A and B are shown apart, each in its own frame.
Chain A
Amino acid sequence: MYRYDQYDQQMVDARVEEFRDQARRRLEGKLTEDQFKPLRLMNGLYLQLHAYMLRVAVPYGTLNSLQIRALADIAEKYDRGYGHFTTRQNIQYNWIKLEDVADILADLAKVEMHAIQTSGNCIRNISSDHFAGAAADEVTDPRPYAELLRQWSSFHPEFSYLPRKFKIAVIASDTDRAAMRLHDIGIQIVERDGALGAAFYVGGGMGRTPMVAPCINPFVPLDQLITYAEACLRVYNRHGRRDNKYKARIKILVHEMGAEEYTRQVEEEFAHLLEQGVEPPFAELERIRTFFADPPFDAGADVALDRSDPDFALWVDRNTVAHKADGYVSAVISLKPVGGIPGDATAEQMRLMGDLAKEYSFDELRVMHTQNIVLPHVRKADLHAVWTALDGAGLGSPNLDTVEDIIACPGLDYCSLANARSIPVAQRISERFAANGKTAELGQLKVKISGCINACGHHHAGHIGILGVDRKGVENYQLSLGGSEAEDVSLAKITGPGFDEAGIVDAVETAADVYLRERQDGERFLDTYRRIGMTPFKEALYG
């Protein structure tokens, strides 16, 4: 994985001292809250429902054991013993004191981490495929491009006061595991005539106006990648709406201007910027690539697996994914125990995951946007030991991509923007299906819950999506069906009137039962919904 050199280290160290100084000026009253707010947000610090919340960047979701141990230490030393992994592959802490933040950032800098641009109207942490470097279907590892974009976007002098936040995802396979087309810019590294290039999808997003990004350029040469991104951002910075924060995302600009006109302006700006020489030397990309070379896989790794323990075999079937190297798999650590809080991990659990990564996965972990953790490179021969350790720590739930593997935003339990609680709904749904035994039969069924229209819980992209709303001071939940964040991307449609907390759990089961009744061979819930449409579901829900 990528390692800092003296320059990267200097930059994060400088940022720590900058924030220390800004926090001091805030505490002394030299900065008003209005002035301080964008500065703290650009260091991931929110004022949330109960306290300050700090969001730490996990660039393209990649961590090593030293880093996750540092995250565990921060959870214990400065917070309340746990952290929450987010839908953008980051981690956040809920009980932070302003007076501690600079020290936390300094602790992070010691392990080559930071909270730079994890919030605010700037270019956020670059996300990527959580199986990058392990997946058999990628044309190349997408992370070197994500890292190059990370450096380019860090402390960008022109793009730090954008109309609104800006999220970029980079993938390198036709299978989309990063919700690429639901980002402000989604980049897919593609191969054409033996050369790699970048397809740019611009103007996707969720939130109150969900949009799927159109492709504006199918092949940007890699030695022009940064220049093209710069052109995309400049057109947005100049012309994105600033009169209404709900219309300020780039998706609205692309939609109102039209993808064709937006593309024309980007191409014009791109031609201009090519003459300015803003592109990094190609040698920099080559330098970064060396950090992402394959680890020394054991060519003789045993491809057979002892499946005599049925619980273990179930976990292997559900939570491990094919790997490009023979004898290896990527193993998913579920942070979705039945009845648990999606994405939360205790300090002890983080340390265990770090230990397992160190011993069994070439010292690498990945954070998934689905709020789980991956051990990307595990020998099949080591899987039983890994599973045994995970299971003993409450991390062995065999439920990847099942109805129990629910994405949920923090909701009204933690978030000052929320209108309803998300976590309890996720808890009740996973308990319901664990109890009624339908989880296995339902197969892949992605349930995603947001506590407000900002859609941090990706409800628009759920096979089953749930949106919490406030109806005259009472929590109410809208059900939607048919969304997907993957390569078959689509936006979910609302079924009809909303439900109360108990009602929404029943409604999810009702929808699942319609699928079980109507499905044909090999169909997932999503496939059946797409074939039969909304009507049978509506009849069952409201009929």
Chain B
Amino acid sequence: MRILTGNDLKTGAVIWWTGSDWSLHVADAVDVTGREDELARVEEAERRVNVPYAIDAEMHEGQPRPAHIKDRIRALGPTVRQDLTLKPADPDIRNWVI
């Protein structure tokens, strides 16, 4: 599957396209295969997202998991500071990222 990501223009936060809006959580991302370019163009023009692009992902335990480690780190936060990630208390998160 392909999922669409970018950064919030004002805050810089990593965001994911949910089908109707943008979310901080990659778990909310939806498959946009075939519609990446059009969605990216429209959303960027409206400044709801900055530099959007699509990445490969696969479903993992019912939720999208980016295919590449870089996108997984981007989705969650730095592996060396779990306290700063979106899941500061999840003991299994390392296995999801690496």
Judge A-B direct contact (beta carbons within 8 Å): yes
Q: Output the least CB separation between A476 and chain B (Å).
A: 12
- Find B79's partner among A27, A95, A424 (CB 8 Å cutoff): A424
A419 to B74, CA, bound (A): 13
- Find A98's partner among B12, B51, B73, B81 (CB 8 Å cutoff): B12
A29 to B45, CA, bound (A): 8
B80 interface contact, C-beta 8 A: yes
- Find B12's partner among A29, A52, A80, A418 (CB 8 Å cutoff): A52
The SS class assigned to the A binding surface is mixed
Given contacts A97-B11, A98-B9, A98-B12, contact A49 B80 (CB under 8 A): no
Do the beta carbons of B79 and A47 come within 8 Å of each other? no
Do the beta carbons of A413 and B69 come within 8 Å of each other? no
B35 interface contact, C-beta 8 A: no
Do the beta carbons of A412 and B70 come within 8 Å of each other? yes
- Within 8 Å CB of A97, what residues of B? 10-12
A424 to B13, CA, bound (A): 24
Do the beta carbons of A475 and B69 come within 8 Å of each other? yes
- Find A33's partner among B51, B68, B74, B81 (CB 8 Å cutoff): B51
Do the beta carbons of B14 and A33 come within 8 Å of each other? no
- CB-based nearest A residue for B10: A99
A26 to B69, CA, bound (A): 31
Do the beta carbons of B51 and A50 come within 8 Å of each other? no
A96 interface contact, C-beta 8 A: yes
A97 to B11, CA, bound (A): 4
B84 interface contact, C-beta 8 A: yes
Given contacts A27-B47, A47-B50, contact A413 B73 (CB under 8 A): yes
- Within 8 Å CB of A26, what residues of B? 9
- Find A424's partner among B10, B12, B51, B80 (CB 8 Å cutoff): B80
Do the beta carbons of B68 and A473 come within 8 Å of each other? yes
A490 interface contact, C-beta 8 A: no
Do the beta carbons of B79 and A51 come within 8 Å of each other? no
Most buried by B among A27, A49, A341: A49
Do the beta carbons of B73 and A49 come within 8 Å of each other? yes
Do the beta carbons of B11 and A50 come within 8 Å of each other? no
Q: Mark B58-93, 1 if CB is under 8 A from A, else 0.
A: 000000000111100110011111001000000000
A414 interface contact, C-beta 8 A: yes
In this complex, how many residues of chain B approach chain A with their Cβ under 8 Å: the count is: 23
Do the beta carbons of B7 and A51 come within 8 Å of each other? yes
Do the beta carbons of B69 and A50 come within 8 Å of each other? no
- Within 8 Å CB of A421, what residues of B? 73, 79-80
- Within 8 Å CB of A51, what residues of B? 7, 11-14
A26 to B67, CA, bound (A): 32
- Find B78's partner among A96, A413, A416, A473 (CB 8 Å cutoff): A413
- Find A50's partner among B9, B68, B77, B80 (CB 8 Å cutoff): B77
A98 to B12, CA, bound (A): 7
A363 to B78, CA, bound (A): 34
A89 interface contact, C-beta 8 A: no
Interface residue ranges of B4-31 to A (CB < 8 Å) = 7, 9-14
Do the beta carbons of B9 and A27 come within 8 Å of each other? yes
- Within 8 Å CB of A121, what residues of B? none
A80 to B14, CA, bound (A): 16
- Within 8 Å CB of A423, what residues of B? 78, 80
- Within 8 Å CB of B7, what residues of A? 47, 51-52
A427 interface contact, C-beta 8 A: yes
- Within 8 Å CB of B47, what residues of A? 27, 29
A27 to B8, CA, bound (A): 11
A339 to B89, CA, bound (A): 20
A475 to B79, CA, bound (A): 14
Interface residues of A (CB under 8 A from B): 26-27, 29, 33, 47, 49-52, 80, 95-99, 341, 412-414, 416, 418-419, 421, 423-424, 427, 470, 473-475
Interface residues of B (CB under 8 A from A): 7, 9-14, 44, 47, 50-51, 67-70, 73-74, 77-81, 84
A sample of 5 inter-chain contacts (CB < 8 A) reads: A27-B10, A33-B44, A51-B14, A419-B70, A473-B68
Q: Which 4 A-B pairs have the closest CB atoms?
A: A52-B12, A51-B12, A413-B78, A97-B11
Contacts A33-B50, A49-B74, A98-B10 known; 14 new A-B pairs at CB < 8 A: A27-B47, A47-B50, A50-B13, A50-B77, A95-B84, A97-B11, A341-B81, A412-B70, A413-B78, A414-B78, A416-B74, A421-B80, A470-B70, A473-B67
